[in-house]
């Protein structure tokens, strides 16, 4: 049976919702509002990269920004990867087209000051969610992604070497270093649990589709507000930016930072170095020209032409 894109989109949404898929509000909007009206009647295995370039042009003519179109095509890409997976097998892998992606303007990397970090930790400790403080500790002490934090279990922690085993991530599996403060926080939390090897962030409901929590954004936003900051500008990913910036400021080499942060290449890490590197601060310090307190008013008087 050959599925149309519209049929595949609805089945995809249904399956993803059943498994508690991430960012479903945006995925539904991308598909139902933009992608299905354009590709709806076409066979799923006949969609070409040429049609996707046409889609990009159409959305651009409608005023959509390159970043917005990239997000929509990322949803299309995720649908096609699932459709061609062994578990779903709706289409063959070679039927997945190349996804045209346009370069986006690089966003500002937001980071927290030491004072803001302290306020955030205190707000998380006082929050109604008992796991809020540990989530913030992970974010600031391990430079891990939100999704990587949520699916960790106690049996993945090597307390002796201060390492966390991450079996699945963007750049593949890795041993994630952590600070002594985070190690001690996890150990303290583990001592209070009956399940010493289970999920660090277990699901809140017994009937949840996932055994562990998938998202802490609402809790984090509440903590950010309590710390006197704006949740629009301070997301969980800002903690990752902050941790990486601290490593750069400390003069840690890029390859080591890459191993800690779990980036695929050093290119992204280099961007942090270009902005926050100590060599930048030293270079700017060499240009520093202050106004002397001994400057006299006569120096600012306009010369008399007469």
Query: How do residues 258-271 score in pLDDT, each as one tens digit?
Result: 888 888 888 778 87
Instruction: Say if residue 83's pLDDT is above 90.
Output: yes
Is there a contact between 99 and 115 (Cβ–Cβ < 8 Å)? no
CA distance 56 to 62: 10
Instruction: Say if residue 1's pLDDT is above 80.
Output: no
Q: What is the mean predicted confidence (pLDDT) over 271-277?
A: 66
**DSSP characters for the chain?**
-PPBHHHHHHHHHHHHHHTT-TTHHHHHHIIIIIIHHHHTTSBGGG--HHHHHHHHHHHHHTT--HHHHHHHHHHHHHHHHHHTSTTT-SS-GGGPPP---PPPPPPP-----HHHHHHHHHHHHHSSSTTHHHHHHHHHHH---HHHHHT-BGGGEETTTTEEEE-S-TT--EEEE--HHHHHHHHHHHHT-S-TTSBSSB-SSTT-SSSB----HHHHHHHHHHTT--TTT--HHHHHHHHHHHHHHTT--HHHHHHHHT-SSSHHHHHHHHHH-HHHHHHHHHH--PPPTT--GGGGSPPP--
Instruction: Say if residue 155's pLDDT is above 80.
Output: yes
**DSSP characters for 168-221?**
S-TT--EEEE--HHHHHHHHHHHHT-S-TTSBSSB-SSTT-SSSB----HHHHH
199 backbone dihedrals φ, ψ, rounded to 5°? -65, 135
pLDDT of residue 294: 53
Q: State both tokens at 279.
A: 């060599």
Q: What is the mean predicted confidence (pLDDT) over 168-188?
A: 88
% of the chain at pLDDT higher than 90 = 67
Q: What is the mean predicted confidence (pLDDT) over 130-141?
A: 96
Specify the higher pLDDT residue, 260 or 300: 260
Q: What is the mean predicted confidence (pLDDT) over 82-102?
A: 93
Q: State both tokens at 137.
A: 């500790």
pLDDT of residue 168: 76
Which range among 36-50, 51-65, 221-235, 272-286 shows the weakest confidence by mean pLDDT? 272-286
pLDDT of residue 282: 63
Instruction: Say if residue 298's pLDDT is above 60.
Output: no
Q: What is the mean pLDDT of the chain?
A: 88
Is there a contact between 149 and 132 (Cβ–Cβ < 8 Å)? no
In the block, tokens 């954004």 appear at: 217
Query: How do residues 188-229 score in pLDDT, each as one tens digit?
Result: 999 999 999 999 999 988 888 889 999 999 999 999 999 999
Confidence of residue 291 (pLDDT cuts 50, 70, 90): low
Q: What is the mean predicted confidence (pLDDT) over 151-157?
A: 96
Edge to edge, the sheet with strand 174-177 lists: 157-158, 163-166, 174-177
């Amino acid at each position: 049976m050959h599925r149309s894109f519209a049929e595949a989109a609805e089945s995809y949404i249904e399956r993803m919702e059943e498994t508690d898929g991430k960012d479903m509000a945006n995925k539904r909007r991308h598909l139902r509002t933009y992608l299905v009206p354009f590709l709806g009647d076409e066979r799923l295995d006949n969609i070409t990269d040429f049609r996707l370039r046409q889609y990009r042009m159409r959305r651009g003519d409608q005023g959509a920004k390159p970043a917005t179109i990239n997000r929509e095509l990322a949803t299309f890409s995720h649908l096609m990867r699932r459709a061609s997976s062994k578990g779903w097998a709706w289409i063959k892998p070679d039927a997945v087209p190349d996804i045209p992606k346009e370069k986006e303007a690089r966003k500002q990397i937001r980071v927290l000051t030491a004072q803001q970090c302290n306020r955030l930790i205190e707000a998380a400790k006082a929050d109604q969610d008992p796991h809020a403080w540990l989530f913030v500790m992970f974010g600031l002490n391990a430079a891990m992604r939100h999704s990587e934090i949520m699916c960790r279990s106690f049996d993945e922690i090597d307390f002796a070497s201060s390492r966390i085993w991450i079996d699945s991530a963007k750049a593949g599996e890795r041993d994630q270093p952590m600070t002594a403060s985070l190690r001690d926080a996890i150990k303290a939390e583990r001592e209070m649990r009956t399940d010493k090897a289970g999920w660090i962030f277990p699901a809140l409901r017994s009937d949840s589709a996932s055994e562990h929590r998938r998202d802490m954004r609402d809790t984090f936003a509440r903590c950010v507000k309590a710390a006197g900051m704006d949740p629009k500008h301070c997301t969980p990913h800002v903690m990752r930016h902050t941790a990486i910036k601290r490593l750069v400021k400390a003069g840690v080499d890029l390859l080591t930072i890459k191993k800690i942060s779990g980036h695929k290449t050093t290119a992204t890490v280099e961007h942090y170095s270009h902005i926050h590197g100590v060599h930048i601060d030293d270079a700017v310090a060499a240009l520093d020209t202050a106004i002397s307190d001994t400057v006299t008013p006569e120096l600012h008087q306009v010369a008399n032409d007469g």
